[in-house]
Amino acid sequence: MEVYLGVDVGSVSTDLALIDDDGNAVESLYLRTNGQPIRAVQEGIRVLARRIGPGVAVRGAGTTGSARRLAGVMIGADVVKNEITAHAVAALKVVPEVQTVLEIGGQDSKLILIRDGVVVDFAMNTVCAAGTGSFLDHQASRLGIPIERFGEIALRSKHPVRIAGRCGVFAESDMVHKQQMGYAVEDIIAGLCEALVRNYLNNVARGKQILGPVVFQGGVAANEGIRAAFEKNLGQPVIVPPFHGVMGAIGVALLAKEEVERTGRTGFRGFALSEFDFRTSSFECQGCANRCEVVEVRLGSEVQARWGDRCGRWSDLERPVQRPDESECLSCAG
């Protein structure tokens, strides 16, 4: 069998997906990043290799998520894509007529508007994480409820309590207050789901036209309570695709497939990369007042990539070896 690999390395989770020649997901994997993207990617590749066994050839690979560059260097990606495009591509594959994609992940949430199969607008939350998975996680553990059961408990509620959802801090203190007043836990949880949905629609989706079909993806889509609150608020059905948690990885695998079909070759390093000795380090460039923090990725002793510099003197590996204290900057006037 021939497959394409997609890797989505986010702040909270690292997701991997394999798709077949028809673009259907055949295998997927979800891991915690735990602040160690290199280890998460290698662990993911190792588990994936074990699951699929021999006889499966990876024809192409792509990366997305906030660590997409690092992951791209590690696996030898054919495509390194932002997560908005990746999510849209995956949603279009599952529901070709989709017009709206709601995506809520660990630390960010997005809204993508699609018309006639083309992304026409998007929004991402910026400063506020009140409506995201991390916040739900935190509240679940505070209430002593496993996050997996959060949605099911919310659905049991007959009279959701109104929770202030504008800000995570206020939401939490309001929840504590409602608990102390003696409201039932399912009503509080259902109220929290509705507050988060209100927050999302007021902040991320402000002023945007949400038309169906609506697809809801990202880790939080597993939460039945949030999905129900979206349906209630939007007054229309909300589709949660089967691989909702790894749509970014699927999307970038689809893009890798497109790319490899065009170029006819792949840079994928093979499953052995899970045993490679990747290391990253960083230093502050002293070349000018910007004091760029440059990241260096090494495989063994060999530098594979650098980034973080504004002027490009470090990212360009063809340039002769330099020292961080060299007082020259390629882009500054000084």
Partner 1 sequence: MGTSPEVFREVLAALGNEVVIPPRPNRRTLSLGTKYSPEFACLPYKILMGSYLEAIEMGADTIVASGGVGPCRAGQYAPLHELILRDLGHEVDVIVFEPPRLDLRDFLGKISALNAKGLSAWQIIKLIQAGLKKLGALDSLERLSHRVRARELVRGSTTPVYRKALQLVYAAQGAREIDEAYSRAEGLLREVPQKSGYEPLKVGIVGEIYVLLEPSANLEIEEALGEMGVETERSIYLTGWTRESKLLGKPGRYNRTRVKEVAGPYLGEMIGGHGQDSVGHAVMYAKRGFDGVIQLAPFTCIPEIVAKSVLERVSREFALPVLSITLDEQTGKAGLLTRLEAFVDLMKRRRR
Residues of the shown chain interacting with partner 1 in the complex, contacts defined by CB under 8 A: 66, 81-85, 118-122, 124, 126-127, 206-209, 289-291, 310-312, 316, 330-333
Question: CB 198 → partner 1: shortest distance, Å?
Answer: 18
Query: How far apart are the C-alpha atoms of 207 and 30, rounded to whole Å?
Result: 33
User: Based on CB atoms, which residue is closest to partner 1, 134 or 157?
Assistant: 134
- Tokens 């935190």 correspond to 138
Tell me whether residue 179 or residue 290 sits nearer to partner 1 (CB atom): 290
Cα-Cα end-to-end distance for the chain: 57
Closest to partner 1 by CB, 56 vs 119, is: 119
> In whole angstroms, how close is the CB of 279 to partner 1 at the nearest point?
21
Residue closer to partner 1 by CB (options 2, 261) is 261
Minimum gap (Å) between residue 331 Cβ and partner 1: 5
Q: How far apart are CA 194 and CA 233, in angstroms?
A: 8
Closest distance to partner 1 from the beta carbon of 176 (Å): 26
Nearer to partner 1, 118 or 321 (CB): 118
- The distance of closest approach from Cβ of residue 246 to partner 1 in the complex, given in angstroms and rounded to an integer, is 19
Q: Which is nearer to partner 1, 160 or 287 (CB)?
A: 287
Torsion angle of the four alpha carbons 41, 44, 50, 52, in this order, in degrees rounded to the nearest 10: -100
Strands 293-299 and 278-284: antiparallel
Phi, psi dihedral angles at 5 (to 5 degrees)? -105, 135
Q: In the structure encoding, which two tokens stand for residue 229, read together?
A: 């609150």
- C-beta of 289: minimal distance to partner 1 in Å? 4
Q: Give the number of other Cβ atoms within 10 Å of residue 232's Cβ.
A: 13
Q: Which parts of the chain fold into alpha helices (H)?
A: 37-52, 68-75, 83-94, 133-143, 150-155, 168-181, 185-203, 224-234, 247-263
